Amino acid sequence: MNTRTVSDVIVIGAGVAGASVALRLADAGRHVTVLARHALEDSASNQAMGGIAAAIGPDDSPALHLADTLAAGGELCREATVRGVVERAPAAIEWLLAQGVAFDRDGDALDLTQEGAHSRRRVVHAADTTGRAVMLALTRRLRAHPRITLLGAHAAMELLVEGDPAGASGRSCRGVRALDLNRGLLRTLHADHVVLATGGASGIYPVSTNRARPVGDGIALAWRAGCRVADMEMVQFHPTALRHPASEGWLVTEAVRGEGGRLMLPDGERFMHRYDPRGELAPRDIVARAIHTEMTAHKLEFVLLDISHESPEFIRGHFPNTYQHCLALGLDITREPIPVAPAAHYTCGGVVTGGAGQTDVAGLYAIGETAWTGLHGANRLASNSLLEGLVYGEAAAAAILADVPRGSALEDAAGRPALHAVTAALDARAKQEARQLAAGIRRLMAREVGIVRSDRGLAAAAAGLEAMQSRAEGLYRMHGPAPELLELRNLACVGLLVTRSALLRSESRGAHYNRDHPDTGPHAMSTMLQSWTPAVLVDPRAVA
């Protein structure tokens, strides 16, 4: 294994955001170390099905893409951020094409499909396995690049933050301490810049669309380092996750609805028109709540998503992954509907960043789902997620390349020990307690901090999570950085951040619905938490 302990840049996470920034930096001559906790095939980016939104069609424009994103975001987006992203979207697609990504084509042009809340067909895709096609090309380059050290099965434990009187915040990040999950070794890595690209936190709920069940590792790392977080309560539940005991939470792409899929009750009645004139193509928050309402009213475990009115050739051609996955479970979607229910999917909030992913700590960047940029507002527009990772990967790389290196500390670090003692494995009793505590946190999040919330439920959840977090920290102090405790610690931290943010918002907006405050307030304000001051509501346009 490559034992480089000093790099120009450390990237934590190897999804589309992490791969994008790492490749751009390495291509520019920087030495980059990439840490990946899970197999690259398990990243949320690799599992993305729908595609990447970009205004490249003859009837489309960045202005229309901007308008659709702002409308879906419940007036909580930062317009300047959205404009910058949608205007750079076509260039992001061109960059992927240059990396060898094989998108579907309609003749000489890229084929475009439509998804919920988009006013135009603007989603570039590779059938219904777009993320896999993108990551196949990017990971091939990551593994082969001579200036990239890829450390698989490594979990970031803590950021190395020190005082920096010259920095605006008085603090700077100089590296990371990580656990080698295969060997149980603690590895200390140093760099001028660290990029958090660990994805979101859908795994703080019992059912997630991401099989790796991410718990917001990067968000927890940044929070403990003193960074602000914003709009953490805006957890997007994807409306159509497969409901099947052998494949719970598997995502049924939104493109199924974009191509005419119908949501129905078991008796065949369509219901979305009762909730929104756009029907099945309404924004995700509206569709997820509608399904939740119908399931509650009729005591259902799922509703049905039907595309069988289209020809079998059309279905197999447009949705081969969905077709094959369902067929393996005994469901033929060319002849019968798909049982679906909402599942935790995307973290719209995250670590507060500037225009290039800069955080409150000098030298520390956050990009992709880990970050709050103001792009998604209260509800992410479909297929803007991979786009964000690409655009901010480019922006962060440019900012890092333009920054002045702080080499003296790194030269000193070269002589320090890089590997530390093997961590002791947890005994059976501690493992059992960690499992029970994690399950309890997830159950509490689902019951009180899910699609529909209440003041009383949120207050009870906050009290319960504070006690659970205290116990998680106690286990961590007692037993050290075992893999189970690293995850538990982050799960408890992020679950409490989501809950505290939800308590701040006395209204319903986007992905946050509180039955005690069902109306949207007159002013769109972001929730902001920071460890050294009280929680506040702020105008998202004013966040620096």
Active site residues: 284
Instruction: Report the 10 Å Cβ neighbour count for 49.
Output: 24
Residue 125 CA to residue 127 CA, distance in Å, equals 6
Q: Which residues does 321 contact at the CB level (< 8 Å), separation at least 6?
A: 49, 127, 128, 129
> Residue 85, class by beta-carbon neighbours within 10 Å (0-12 exposed, 13-18 middle, 19+ buried)?
buried
Q: What are phi and psi of 137, to 5 degrees?
A: -70, -45
Helix orientation angle between 385-402 and 130-144, rounded to the nearest 10 degrees: 30
Output the six-digit token pair for 147.
Answer: 């200036």
The owner of tokens 């493109």 is 255
Q: How many CA atoms lie within 13 A of 28 on its CB side?
A: 18
Closest to 328 (Cα-Cα) out of 247, 261, 257, 263: 247
Q: What SS3 string covers 488-523?
A: HHHHHHHHHHHHHHHHHCCCCECCECECCECCCCCC
| Mode of pairing for the β-strands spanning 350-352 and 371-372 | parallel
Are the C-beta atoms of residues 377 and 74 closer than 8 Å to each other? yes
